[in-house]
Structures are given as structure tokens and as C-alpha cells.
Amino acid sequence: MAEKILVTGGAGYIGSHSVLELIEAGYEPVVIDNFHNAIRGSNGLPESLIRVQEIVGKKIEFVELDLLDRAGLNSLFLKHKFSAVIHFAGLKAVGESVKKPLLYYKVNLIGTIQLLEVMNSHGVKKIVFSSSATVYGDPKYLPLDEKHPVGECTNPYGKTKYFLEQIIQDQCKAEGEWKAILLRYFNPVGAHVSGRFGEDPQGIPNNLMPYVSQVAVGRFKHLNVFGNDYNTPDGTGVRDYIHIVDLAKGHIAALKKLHASNGCKIYNLGTGVGYSVLQMVVAMEKASGKKVPYKMAPRREGDVATCYADPTVAAADLGWKAEYGLDRMCEDLWRWQSLNPRGFSKDS
């Protein structure tokens, strides 16, 4: 019988791609998401899971549920016998977190603490946690490895990830039965090769590549490039971009490792290569055959100049490494965007 995995936030961009990989790896995911958050900028949309179902040819159980709903969580754990949890759910926009810190602390911290408490009460003590490279703050050295100091985060979103890492590590120390893997993501881009589902931010995208692809498809007239005076080759910010499918497969590797490990382990999921904003624009122009006009804008509060991973620990311990390069990331992103110019909207 297939292992049953609870996936929180499983209708989102990373979550939906990971749900597909879970099914293809022989697991049985049960997804929860508070779909109403799509109205205020979340990526959680039922349509993404409907399309995953069509691709895998299997029904996926998904429930509209908020992690702040403790009674609902309890009912779910009473109904299902989960072997582990993959925890994606949470708010994730750096800029919004600077403007609305209390909202981010409430949703991300309290929601996760409730999840951990309910897991504990039902004897489910294995978790893969969706963390972020933002926990490293402004890099003291590059590439960023897992031993790099954490906690000097430049925005409230990053702080929530840092605090939650500490909470999960403390829980693992307090109760020896707990096992956790914390995955520090770099910048996911791209889409499933089918072009049927991908990233669909509501309103003006917070992340670079959905913004770039939506300019290419004609939804926006130009891209705003935030800062051109960083200490980088062309003055624009440099990031480690990783194909969403590679990132999703990292969760399968983590789940397998979880069963064979003890305590709490931490891994970077990145490629180890950094690209600037303008390099990403050129790459999307190549993939799409479209011009991507851009205008320079002031730096955003909370952004750092350069950030890229040292992914060697994940390769050694998880047997995982990113397979897809920049061209493939942009090709798959453009396929999704061009086939779905309005995202999951019915008027695409």
C-alpha cells in the first residue's frame, strides 16, 4: 500500500509540481490548501491540482483547509494515517512581508506551530519543511553552503523561515522520535514540460521570471528592474535559479532520506550558478522570440546583491542534483505562459 503523505500548500507552484512527482514516485499525497488566499496573491489554486490529475490519470484528494484551523487539522489527521508531512503552506512575498510583518508572523509561525502540535498529538513525527535561502541574509561568502551563518535576515519573510527552522530543530532535539529535513530553496523557475501548469501569481508578480514571461506574452508593457547599482557584473541582482521540476524532485529525495535518518538535516536546493536579472531577460527573449522591454527602478528593501548555492551536500547525502539548465528553464516557462497567457484563468 502506498505511503500517504500530507502536503500542505499543495496547490501552489512548488506544491503542485511536487504532488505530481510524489504520485510518479509511488506515494499517495493528500493535499490541503486555503484556496481563498488566491484572491490576495497566493499561488494556491484548485485548477493546478485538476490539471495534475489529468496528467497522472489519478484522482488526488485535496481539501480546502487553513493551518490556522486547528479543529479542521485534527479531523484530517483522524481520517488519514500519514507517514510524513511535506510543508509548503505559507505566505512568501518578500516585499509584502516588509509592509505587513504581523500578517507574515501570524500565518507562517502560528500556522506551522499548530501543524507541528497536531502532528505530535497524532504520532506523525516526520516532516520535510519548505525553507529558503533568505535565512542566510546578506551573504558573508559565496557560494552559500549549509554552514553559512543564518538569522541575519533582511526581511520578515526570511525571518519566519529562520524562526521555523529553529522551532523544528528544537522539537527534534526535545523528542528523539522526530525526524525533519529542512530544504533551503534558491529561486524556482520554469514549469512542467506539458505546459499545463506552472506559476500563476495574481496581480503584479513578486518574483522576477513570472514578471518577465508576462511582459513577453503581453500582459505588462515592461519589466521593472529593481536596482542597477549592485556590485555585480552588470549592476543588477544575481540569483541561483533552479528548474521547478528539479526542485520538486528534491522533495522525493528528502522523503526517502527522512526514513533513513535521525534528527534534523538541512540541505540547499540550488544549481550553484548565479545569473543576473538582465541575463535572465536575455534568456527569456531567446526562448520566447519576444522582446522584453525593461525600466530601471530603485532597489527594493530587503533584497541582496548576489546569492547562489553550494549544492554539494545535497548531492552527497540525498543523491540529488539539478539536471536542467537555464535554456530549459526558460523554454518550459515560455511554453506554460504562451499556452496560458492568463494563467489558470478560464479566459486564457
What residues are annotated to the active site? 157
Residue 253 burial class via C-beta count within 10 angstroms: exposed 0-12, middle 13-18, buried 19 and up: buried
Grid coordinates of 226: 529593481
Between vectors from CA 88 to CA 74 and to CA 202, what angle results, nearest 5°?
A: 115
Distances, alpha carbon 264 to alpha carbons 119, 130, 183, 259, in Å: 16, 13, 11, 12
Grid coordinates of 116: 507541528
User: CB count, 10 Å around CB of 89?
Assistant: 28
Residue length, the chain? 348
Distance CA 7, CA 130 (A): 11
**HSE-up of 148 (CA within 13 Å, CB side)?**
27
